[in-house]
Each structure stands twice: as C-alpha cells, then as structure tokens.
Amino acid sequence: MSLRMRLFIVFLLIIFVTLATLSVFIRQNTQREIRNYVFRGGLIGADDLVNSLEQYFLDTGSWNNVQSVVIASGMGQGGKGRQGGPAQGNSPAASGMMHFRLVDTSGQVVYDSQATDLDNQTIRRSEYEQGFPLENNNEIIGYLLPGNGASFSSTNFESELVARLNRATLNAALISGGVAILLAVVLGYTFLKPIQALTTAANKLGTGDLSQRVPMQGKDELALLAKSFNQMASMLENSETARREMTADIAHELRTPLAVQRANLEAIQDGVYPLEIETLSPIIEQNHHLTRLVDDLRTLALADSGELEMHFRRTDVVALIQSAIRRFEPQAVSKNIQLLFKSEEDTFYLRLDPDRIFQIFNNLLQNALRHTPPNGQIFIFLKQNNQQIAISVRDTGSGIPQESLPYIFKRFYRVEKSRSRTEGGTGLGLAIAAKIAESHQGTLTGENHPEGGAVFTLLLPLSLPSEALDQVSDEN
C-alpha cells in the first residue's frame, strides 16, 4: 500500500472516530441533560429536591418519613406520604401547579404531592421506569415521576434548555477532540518514526559515517526512500573504500619505478656504475612505465567524469580486429601460439571509435598471450547476437581463479601480481577497457571457458542511441 493511500486512510479514520465519538457523546449528554431538565428543573423544578432525596436515602437507607425532606424543600406541602399529613400552604404543589410522585424500586408509591391516601398504591414497571431515576452509589433506589398535567415552572424555558444543550455539545466536542488528538499523536508517531530514523542516518552520513543504513519495511514510498538511501550510502562507502585503496595502490605502483630510478642514479652519481647507455636503460624503462601509469590514470579519470573524448565513425570491425591480430603475431610466433580468428561476415561496419576499440583488443590479446602457455591457441570470434555484436577472445591457459573473477575489472588488481609487474603491466588495462565499452553503450565481461582457459566477451550495440552520439564528437 502506498504512503499516499495510508495517509488518506489515516485521515479518514481520524475523521470517522471524531464524528462517531462526537455523535455518541452528544446523544448521551443531550439525553441526560434533557432528562435532567425535564424531570429536575423543566417540568417540576425539583433539581434540589432530587439531590435531597438521594442524600436522604443515603443517610437513612429507606424512604420512611421522606415527606419531611419534600416539605423542607418547599415543594411537597400539598400531599401526604405513607406517614405524612395533608398538604397545606400556598406552594406550587398545593395550588396544583406541580404534581409528582416518589416510587421505590418495587413500584410502590412512597410519596404523592397531591394524594391523600397512598396505601397499596403501586405503578406498573413500564410506567415508573419512564420517570427520573434516583441513584445511590450507581444503584437505582427509586423514581421521581411528574404527575399528569404538570406544568413548566420556569419563566425562561427556551434559554435554559438551549444552555443545557450547548453545555452537553461542548462536553462532547471536548471529549471527541481529545480522542482525535490522541489518535493523531499515535498515528503521527508511527509515520514519523521511520522518517526520524532516516533523518538521523542522513545527518550521520553527512558527518562522514558512511556505514549508516536504515531498516526497510513494506513497499510504500518510505520503504523505497529507505532503499534508495541505503543504496546511496553503500555506493558512497564503496567509493570511499575504492578511493583509499586506489590512493594506496598508486603510491605502491609509483614507489617501485621511482626506487629503481633513484638507485641507478645514485649508483651513477657515486661512481658505482659508469655513465653509459647500458646503465641508463633501466632508468628509461622505469620512466616509460611511469608514463604509461600516468596515461592510464588520466584515461580512467576522464572516463569516470564522462569527459573521455570519443571520435565515432563508420568502421569495419573485422578489419580492426585483423589489424590488432597482426600486431601481436610476432610475439605469438615467438611463443609458438596460434592466433585463430573466425567471423560470420567478411566485413561488418559499426559506428564506433576505432582507436578506443583497438585499445580494448590490444589489452585482451596482450593478456591472452601472457597467460597462454607455449604451443597454445587463442581464439577470436565475431558474431551478431540480436541487436548487438559479440566479440570474444579466448585463451587456452589455466584460466582465472574463481576467487579472482569478481575483481578482474578492479583497478590495480592482478591475478598474478609479481609476474604482471615484472612484465610492465599497470593493473589498469581491464578497468580502462570496461570503461571504453561503457562509453560505447556496451559491456565487457570475463569468465572461465568450460573447456579451459579464460574468455572475455565484448558486446557492442548495432547502433548507438542518439543521446550517446550527442555527447561525443563525430567524424565521418
């Protein structure tokens, strides 16, 4: 479920709970206030009387001599209780303006403001339960019933009733509002918790702690954001690790040729070696190695920043491969290695940078010759595969160790470090080749062949996307 839908449901839930709570409390409070008004103050004006009656039962535990409480309230002088006398005076009850009865929980009338004889006078349950209940410790102890024709004793009926209803509505609104706020706080905390975790992780990431990750739950927008954050953090951590490793590798690669040059120069300076062409050869050789290393590093830096200059033109790939093979034929003959090229077509034209692609072939063939034993073979195949061409270079050497396969395109990585260094490799050839392939919207992969040896495959699209051509120079 998306975050937008979850927020929509939460808002609907808060609105529903608020309205439902408001409706319930308004209904209950309104009913209570109307009942209180009608039976306590509206029709019989007996609000104080009810309180007195409840307190009397609490004190005595029965309704005996309850008429004394009614008479003391000034509202019951016109009637006679079970043990009371006749009503008298000019009270509203005596004048007939108000008539009410007090009934116990069994239906027995214990007081009538206008009756003279209450012996065995009972009222049906369905009738007395319509009256106002008198309570003691949440238990009903009796009912107060208005008599027939009871009249309203207040002079401001409308304003008093409206005031009571307004008070009931306000109480219900306060309670429902509190419930809504509590629900909003709980749900808001639930939604803000992952955002707070993401904010905390982002702040720590900004201070340099690249190990920060946030938990991912669900498939909504927050989960996708957490996933993107974790991917970004992983990339930054990997980039920082690669930067540190590359700095150390560059320092290591520079140290060896510089040390050789310095040792030879100091030997010449001290007179250990004579200043002759032979003594200068190792220095020149190490200088060439440094030059290649610097050139390779510059190429990689340009490729990483997307500024590696490319010159695309229509090129015969078959002729380009044959040219690269001819360059290595003398070296192959010296080791008695066969270079075998097979293509589905005699000519195959593509738009590419021939110099950069030749650089890839040069690196692949050089590596193949380095790892192919004498009397071995190197196979080069070119074939069309869907919307791309596949060019593979396979040797018959010992192959790539399984633990080294994930790292063969890593900068300065060597499967046979000491051997490659003595032969002048910088450890950057495959990394540069992979970057050039990417610049052509292609890929370069390496793996072990089932029949033995390593095989590298260059995949190039039959046509470059127009946006790729817009970013590079073009030559016809």
Q: What is the pLDDT of residues 269-300, one digit of tens each?
A: 888 888 888 888 888 888 887 888 888 888 88
pLDDT band at 153; cut points 50, 70, 90: very low
| Domain limits, CATH 1.10.287.130, in the chain | 221-304
Check residue 358 and give its pLDDT: 92
Mean pLDDT across the chain, nearest whole number? 77
Query: According to the 3-state scheme, what is the secondary structure of 13-52?
Result: HHHHHHHHHHHHHHHHHHHHHHHHHHHHHHCCCCHHHHHH
pLDDT band at 159; cut points 50, 70, 90: low
Whole-model pTM?
0.51
Q: 311-474: which CATH topology?
A: Heat Shock Protein 90 (3.30.565)
pLDDT in tens, 11-50: 777 777 777 777 777 666 666 666 665 555 444 455 677 8
Q: Write out the two tokens for 225.
A: 């954001």
Check residue 318 and give its pLDDT: 93
The predicted model gives 187-212 an average pLDDT of: 81
| Domain limits, CATH 3.30.565.10, in the chain | 311-474
pLDDT band at 258; cut points 50, 70, 90: confident
Check residue 85 and give its pLDDT: 42
Q: Is the pLDDT of residue 102 over 80?
A: yes
**Class of 221-304 per CATH?**
mainly alpha
Q: Percentage of the chain surpassing pLDDT 90?
A: 16
Q: Is the pLDDT of residue 476 over 60?
A: no
Check residue 456 and give its pLDDT: 95
207 against 97, higher pLDDT: 207
Query: Which H or E run contains 4?
Result: helix 3-35
Spell 89-116 as b/e; 16+ CB within 10 A means b.
eebbbbeebbbbbbbbeeebbbbbbbbe
Q: Is the pLDDT of residue 341 over 90?
A: yes
146 against 57, higher pLDDT: 57
Q: Is the pLDDT of residue 322 over 50?
A: yes
Angular region, 386: left φ>0, alpha ψ -120 to 50, beta rest? left
272 against 454, higher pLDDT: 454
**Class of 3-159 per CATH?**
alpha beta
| Domain limits, CATH 3.30.450, in the chain | 3-159
Q: Please give the backbone phi and psi of residue 42, each rounded to the nearest 5 degrees, phi first.
A: -75, -50
Q: Percentage of the chain surpassing pLDDT 70?
A: 78
The predicted model gives 85-107 an average pLDDT of: 58
pLDDT in tens, 40-52: 544 445 567 788 8
191 against 208, higher pLDDT: 208
pLDDT in tens, 65-85: 888 877 776 665 444 444 444
392 against 234, higher pLDDT: 392
Three-state DSSP at 113 gives coil
Give DSSP secondary structure letters for 257-306: HHHHHHHHHHHHHTTSS-SSHHHHHHHHHHHHHHHHHHHHHHHHHHHHTT
